[in-house]
Amino acid sequence: MKHLVIGCLMLGLVAAGCQKAEQQPPSTAAFPPLSSYDEQARALLAQMTLEEKIGQMIQAEQAFLQDPYDIQTYHLGSILSGGNSDPADGNSLEAWTEVYDSLQAIALRTRLGIPLLYGIDAVHGHSNVEGAVVFPHHIALGATRDPDLVEQVYRITAIEMRATGIHWDFAPCIAVARDIRWGRTYESFAEDPELVATLGAAAVRGLQNGGLNNPLAVLATAKHFAGDGGTAFGTGGPQGALLDQGDVRLDEATFRRIHVRPYIDAIQAGVGSIMVSYSSWNGVKMTGHKYMLTDVLKGELGFEGIVISDYNAIDQVHPDYKTAIEISINAGIDMAMVPTRYREFFQLLKELVEEGRVPMERIDDAVLRILRVKFAMG
């Protein structure tokens, strides 16, 4: 397939110039709710086998695909390229486009022809691609306190992503960094949750560009839900970090006021996916936190899109991988980012459903959310 703005990067033009040439002003109308696509999504869901449903819930890493045709064998719903998952032929526009097109073509030849969602961390520009514009990190954008500028930055990022075909951005990070010793403070707009909320919503608008069906829009991801910037010093994750992936030790009212607050604006801006944090809240891993993911995020806040785990985050929920999958999916994870263990995940989740440990209703809810987003994106 050809991509609308491929010439902008191939000719080395400034992305802002491409924007003026290619883009119409975004609609000011509110996004239709993702649930408005339920009739189409449910009709497709009704045709799917258990194996096809489980496959839709899996995101594998491009570099670690054991066979590209695993996309068909395991009915994979999504592929990502992590920070080191570059095309074998280099980082040119042509190389990235070829990777996207070749994998998408395999997906489109499956029984139901459901396209892949392809994700990447374009967190300050589509910076894995040669010639793309690289922008300042969030801490610098936050210092401007300028939502219009942030929206413009992310709109340019979306245009350059679509030039490669890739259409799912694992951004914006709307962490509220409360301790400068956190190693990812640069990914946070500010320590003020209100400013983070304002700029995060602007980033979502820039990426989703008036509606997910816009050819120059990409799917935004608000991350990492919730509390990643508020972990207590000395509680860090499995690599022994002092703060990253640690534990947030706050009462619920304070936790909501500081760390949940930006997600309210992101959801109101129409964000289509939310990534869950590696971190814990009062000792419970967010990836397995049913109260926060199902009761609060999906129930109280009304989020209708995809809840995705972080990179290998499910592994951290329980020492036994099958139990970790059970806890995470039942907690509300819709799509599992399992870069290398996707075959194992497929088999174990199938067993969990057959054993009654993961209800079919939970599988159907997860797949419905994924299909909603795919239909909304056209």
The catalytic residue positions are 310
Residues 6 or more apart whose Cβ sits within 8 Å of residue 272: 34, 208, 212, 219, 220, 221, 305, 306, 373, 376, 377
β-bridge mates for residue 81, sequence order: 120
Q: Which residues pair with 284 in a beta bridge?
A: 281
Give, in degrees to the nearest 5, the angle at Cα 41 between 111 and 121: 85
> Angle, to 10 degrees, between the axis of helix 321-331 and the axis of helix 342-354?
70
**Cα angle at 262 between 177 and 260, to 5 degrees?**
80
Tell me how far apart the alpha carbons of residues 48 and 42 are, in angstroms, rounded to a whole number. 10
> Three-class SS of residue 120?
strand
Kindly tell me the sign of the dihedral angle through the C-alpha atoms of 375, 376, 377, 378: positive
Spatial strand order in the sheet of 336-337: 168-169, 117-120, 78-81, 58-61, 336-337
